[in-house]
Amino acid sequence: MANPEQPSLTSGVSPGKHLQDSLTSRRQFLRQFLGASFMAAGGIWMRDKVFASSTGPSQPLRFVQLSDTHIGYQGDANRDVLGSLAIALGAIALLDPKPDFIVVTGDLTQGTSQESERLKRFQTFRHHLLSLHIPVYTVAGEHDALMDQGKSYEKAMGPLYYDFRLHGVQFYALDNVSRGFFVGEKQRQWLKQRLKQANPMAPTVIFCHAPLYDVFSPWNWYTYDAHEVLKLFAPFHHLSVFFGHVHQLLSHQGSFITQYGAMPTSWPLPEPGFLTVLERWPQSTSDPYMGLGFRVVDIKNAGLVQIQNVLLQDAVNLRRRSSS
C-alpha cells in the first residue's frame, strides 16, 4: 500500500478547465478494462516514502479513491464487507491505464474498544489492499482512530498526517477525526510550514475523512476548523478535496476549491437532513450493492481533473456479461 508519511490534503485544477463528475458514462468507462487480467501479485505499502517535489504536472496522473470499507463490521447493513471490497479491488485491478496509487479516505475498519481486535482489523485491511500491486495511501476515520486518538492506527498504518508529491501534483493527507472533528492547532502549524515549500500554481489535492465544509453538523458531517485550514490554501489556484465519512456522492464548489464526497464499499447513508436520526438500513437482497462504489480520478498534463464514479453493481454486471 502507499502511505508516504500518512495524512494530508489538497488537489488542483488548471485555470479555465472544466471538472467532470459523471455517472452517465461509467458503463463505457468500465468496458475499457473488461478484457484485462485480474490480480497482480504483491503490493507496495508507501509508509515511509516521500516523493520529490516538482514545479508542475509532468505527466498524466491517475488515482483511485476508496472509502469507508469498515473491515470487521458484522450486521445487516452489509453482510459481507470483505466481499464488497473484493469486488471493488477486482475492478480496480482491471483498470487501463493502471492507477498510480489508491487512496482510502478513512474508516478502513469498524470501530472496536479492544486494541488487539483493532490491530487485527487493520492487518486484514492491509492484506486485502496489498493483493494489488498498486501503492496505497490512507487517512484515518473516526472508527479507526477516535477510540485511542490514533495510536493503533499509527502503529498499523503510519502517521496520521503527511504530504507527498507525484508527477508535479501536491498531495496533503490530513487528520480531522482522531481527537474529534477538527484538525487542530498543531497540525495546522505543520501544514503552514509544509505549504511554504509548495507551488501555489501547481495542482493540489487534499485527502481527509470528514468534509472540509459544513454538510450537516447534527450528524458530525463537518470539520470544526475547516475555515482556518482552507485559509492556509488561499494562495493556491487549483485545489481539490476528496473525503469520505458521508457514504454517498457529494460535491461542493467554492471560490477556489471543489470538494468531493465518496461512495463507500460498506453501506450507503441517507441524504443529509432526510432523517432526524442517522441510521443504517438493512442491505437489500435484490440490490445488495446499492450506493456502493469507488472513484477514478485523472489529472491531465494541463491540470484538468476528470472523475469517473464506478458503481459496484455495474462492475458485477459487466463482468458477468463478459464471462457469459
Is residue 209 within 8 A of residue 15, CB to CB? The reply is no
Pairwise pLDDT comparison (247 vs 275), residue with the higher score: 247
Specify the residue for cell string 487501463.
96
**pLDDT at res. 285:** 85
Q: What angle do CA 227, 209, 143 make, to 5 degrees?
A: 130
Is the pLDDT at 273 greater than 80? The verdict is no
Q: How is residue 216 annotated by DSSP? A: B
Which residue has cell 509532468?
A: 58
| Closest C-alpha to 23, from 239, 294, 206, 321 | 294
| Whether the predicted pLDDT of 48 surpasses 80 | no
Taking only the tens place, the pLDDT of each residue in 108-146 is 999 999 999 999 999 999 999 999 989 999 999 999 999
Average pLDDT of every residue of the chain = 84
- pLDDT tens-digit map of 16-30: 222 333 343 444 544
